Amino acid sequence: MAPDVAERGGPMIRLGVNVDHVATLREARQTRYPDPMEAARLALRGGADNITVHLREDRRHIQESDVTRLVRELPLPINLEMSLNSIIVEFAESLRPAEVCFVPERRAERTTESGLAVRFLAHRLFPVVRRLTEFGIRVALFVDPVADEIEAASELGVSTVELHTGAYAESRDAASRAHRLERLRNAARLARSRGLMVHAGHGLDYDSVGGVAAIPEIETLNIGHSIVSRAVFIGLESATRLMKERMVEARRGGAV
């Protein structure tokens, strides 16, 4: 199927809402609420284009049962973030979400701290990427905005790279923010020139999102923590809508 305008980037930008943090709240007290499925439905009403979940090796938030319900019951594509852990890879193969995004994972980290070492892991990634692709799952790799990692992703034949926006989002002064945004721009351009779809995410909030949303090659932004945090005060539907509005405004050339 030929990619539409949205899939090619350009005038459209899509929002993937990461609902891990809803499950974090549930797991903190081992309750049955709040339900990530309910969160996903509210995000859909607020304009989310897909839902992202990370099934971590320690199962600290999202569980297999959450992913299964989301894939089977939600009328939106599910993007499953995961490591190369063989049990989780087998789970993805049996469930077949629309998309899988490989991220590096260390147990002691608070959240994903860096992009995947694609070239270093290429021999392990290659057979897994091939199998998942044969199952009709789009495969993305979460990478730092570094040319050689993007070239390595392209050589592996994945459909997508997700650019790590953490360094940009965390930059403290205008000069480093501008420099890191430029790195993201160059990385997005390179990835598109290699025929890859370009996603981005990590650490983006309502202030930092505009700069990244304005990069025309980027098709989807995956955002979780800031949206769920804002939802505590204004509800998840409104928090999602507000983020989407900022993204669309920036993409149309408005305030960033």
Looking at the annotation, which residues are catalytic? 54, 81, 202
Query: Burial letters for 157-195: b for 16+ Cβ neighbours within 10 Å, e otherwise?
Result: ebbbbbbbbbbbbebeeeeebeebbebbbebbebbbeee
103 binds ligand PXP (CB under 6 A): yes
Residue of 181, 176, 184, 179 lying closest to 146 (CA atoms): 184
Nearer Cβ to ligand PXP (5/109)? 109
Take residue 140 and report the two structure tokens written for it.
Answer: 């993305």
Taking CB under 6 A as the criterion, the residue among 24, 63, 68, 111 binding ligand PXP is 111
Q: How many residues are listed for the chain in this entry?
A: 256
User: What are the residues facing 16 on neighbouring strands?
Assistant: 50, 222
Taking CB under 6 A as the criterion, the residue among 18, 50, 154, 240 binding ligand PXP is 18
Q: How far apart are the C-alpha atoms of 6 and 62, rounded to whole Å?
A: 28
Residue carrying the six token digits 């960033």: 256
Contact 196, 153 (CB under 8 A): yes
Taking CB under 6 A as the criterion, the residue among 146, 224, 231, 244 binding ligand PXP is 224
Taking CB under 6 A as the criterion, the residue among 13, 15, 19, 20 binding ligand PXP is 20
Give the containing element (helix H, strand E) for 89. helix 86-95
Site for ligand PXP in 78-97 (CB under 6 A): 81
Single out the segment in contact with ligand PXP by CB under 6 A; choices: 43-51, 61-69, 219-227, 229-237. Answer: 219-227
102 binds ligand PXP (CB under 6 A): no
Q: How far apart are the C-alpha atoms of 222 and 204, rounded to whole Å?
A: 9
Contacts of 47 (CB under 8 A, 6+ apart): 15, 240, 241, 244
Nearer Cβ to ligand PXP (49/162)? 162
Site for ligand PXP in 133-172 (CB under 6 A): 142, 162
Nearer Cβ to ligand PXP (76/253)? 76
Shortest separation between residue 55's beta carbon and ligand PXP, angstroms:
11
Q: How far apart are the C-alpha atoms of 249 and 238, rounded to whole Å?
A: 16
Nearer Cβ to ligand PXP (95/141)? 141
SS3 17: strand
Taking CB under 6 A as the criterion, the residue among 112, 159, 160, 208 binding ligand PXP is 112
Total residues binding ligand PXP (CB under 6 A): 19
Give the binding site for ligand PXP (CB under 6 A).
18, 20, 54, 81, 101, 103, 111-112, 142, 162, 201-204, 222-226
